[in-house]
Amino acid sequence: MSWVENSAKNLLPLSNEKKAFSTALREWLYDGDMFDLENPIEACELCEHPEIRYQFKIVNRFNGNELLVGSECINKFGITATDDLGNVLSRDASRKKVSKDRRHLVTEARKKRQINSLVRLAGIDKDFEISAFIDYVQDRGAFTPNQLSLLFWRFEKNRISYNSLDFKVVIRRDREKNQLRIMPKWKLRQILPSLSVSQRVWIERPEENISPNE
Ligand SMILES: [Zn+2]
């Protein structure tokens, strides 16, 4: 069966409209409930696409039936989303809401992995003062170049696995720019994957006065 046939087979019994798939689709709404399973372990309950990690709940507005589906399905079938006040959105705005919500889940997962590596480090390295780092990253969403360099060095020393892409660097003040200007090349290489594209451009050509902000 194709994904459209699968979807019709799964959606029609739960809809008031039992025959016309496109009519039945209009009974369903996505109103912002979404979940991160942390691993791609579930199948989409609509099209049966396997290995879904981010689940979006769609609800039938007439009978309250629910399905947990992938974000792709909401977009492919043009399922309507509602805003935070429950207003029905246009197709375009619905797409935007789904992408925004998906990005939110991805960002939250990244932050969680980041905090997890800090917690693992604190469990092993007694000299590591985790609270200052957690406070800083929760406040700014990123670390200074020196903080990040120290962190990565400690992760490696204690053999803690981490993904440098989960970490972000803040380069807003002169203090942070100066840290990068005098940072040894090998340290810079270590934190480079955590930098945004514009931050990397700034590092290569600081004289052009490009803003290193994200
Ligand atoms: Zn699907």
Per residue of the chain (214 residues), give pLDDT as tens: 899 999 999 999 999 999 999 999 999 999 999 999 999 999 999 999 999 999 999 999 999 999 999 999 999 999 999 998 999 999 999 999 999 999 999 999 999 999 999 999 999 998 888 888 999 998 988 999 999 999 999 999 999 999 999 999 998 888 999 999 999 999 999 999 999 998 998 888 766 555 665 5
CA 100 – ligand 1 centroid, Å? 18
Q: How far is the C-alpha of 71 from the C-alpha of 62, rounded, in Å?
A: 22
Q: Is residue 28 part of a domain?
A: yes
Is 79 among the domain residues?
yes
How far does the centroid of ligand 1 lie from the alpha carbon of residue 203, in Å?
A: 42
CA of 88 to the centre of ligand 1 (A): 21
Residue 26 Cα to ligand 1 middle (Å): 16
Q: What is the maximum alpha-carbon separation in the chain?
A: 69
Q: What does the pLDDT read at residue 203? A: 84
Domain with 168, as residue range(s), is 125-208
**Residue 166 and residue 74 share a domain:** no
Q: Which of 152, 140, 159 is nearest to 189 (CA)?
A: 152
Q: How far, in Å, is the centroid of ligand 1 from the Cα of 113?
A: 27
- Please check whether residues 54 and 131 belong to one and the same domain: no
In a domain, 116, yes or no: no
Residue 22 forms part of a structural domain: yes
The last residue of one of the domains, among 70, 103, 136, is 103
Distance 51 CA to ligand 1 centre (A): 10
Whether residue 146 sits in one domain with residue 89 = no
Do 83 and 51 form a contact (C-beta atoms < 8 A)? no
48 C-alpha to center of ligand 1: Å?
6
